[in-house]
Amino acid sequence: MDDYPFELSGKTVDYICPKCKHELKAPIEAVLEFEEEDMFNNLPINTPPYVECPNCRKLCMIPKYYKSMRGYLFEYKED
């Protein structure tokens, strides 16, 4: 996620893998792109902008806390 052709804002979104608990910070610009793709693909508003987990190698990482462009609040809670 370091290959942006423009300067990043420095804002990040904390992500966690619910399976292996790996955590990472994603640039807000990347998260907004993921969300735009989800809207283009007509995914429901409650679909979080997923990120691939480097440990699990699956698209399963979700935001710990993120309010989407469409106003939906994602908040990770342990089961």
pLDDT value for 78:
84
N- to C-terminal Cα separation, the chain: 29
pLDDT value for 28:
93
Rg (CA), the chain: 12
Global confidence as pTM: 0.82
pLDDT value for 19:
94
User: Which residues in the chain come in under a pLDDT of 70?
Assistant: 1-6
Between CA 13 and CA 55, with CA 24 as vertex, the angle to 5 degrees is: 140
Cα dist from 19 to 9, 40, 54, whole Å: 30, 27, 12
Dump pLDDT digits (tens) for 35-51. 999 889 999 989 899 99
pLDDT value for 3:
61
Counting every residue written for the chain, the total comes to 79
The bridge status of strand 23-27 relative to strand 51-52 is unpaired
